[in-house]
Amino acid sequence: MQNIDQDRMQQVIQEAFDKVANSRRWQMAIARAKGELESNPYMHWNGVALVVLSSSNEIYEANGTCQCKAYRHGQPCWHRAAARLVERYMEAVPPPPCLDGDLLGRGCCFMCDDPIAADGACACVPRTRSN
């Protein structure tokens, strides 16, 4: 991931592991989320949820809910774990200012470094069209 304070993210991850010390499934979801956050370039935090292109070629929008199979079966999923990690990280570290093009003062997406538009869109999450 781009523009991430790795030390702070590691602290967020450790705090998450500490909170789920008695849940092996959540620990595994957090560990997978950590790996995906480090390697998957197709994620975007829109301020409410983490939009993820998963290795299954599915797009999920995760916050407290998810559209994946694990969530539908009442199990922890890495998508929700990743969303919570990013949410906790963003609470502690505000979006970085853009060098140029940040007309709204919303900062830049920490993943693609594109200015965040009023609708939450950036280079890694295109605007949705309304019909």
Q: Taking the chain (131 residues) in consecutive chunks of 10 residues, what is each chunk's mean pLDDT?
A: 78 95 96 94 87 91 94 97 93 65 59 68 55 34
Rg (the chain; Cα; Å): 15
- Strand pairing category for 59-62 and 43-45: unpaired
Identify the pLDDT of residue 131. Answer: 34
Identify the pLDDT of residue 10. Answer: 93
For tokens 């919303």, name the residue: 106
Identify the pLDDT of residue 50. Answer: 93
At residue 108, the 3 state secondary structure works out as strand
Identify the pLDDT of residue 118. Answer: 65
Provide the 10 A C-beta neighbour count for residue 69: 11
Question: pTM of the prediction?
Answer: 0.73
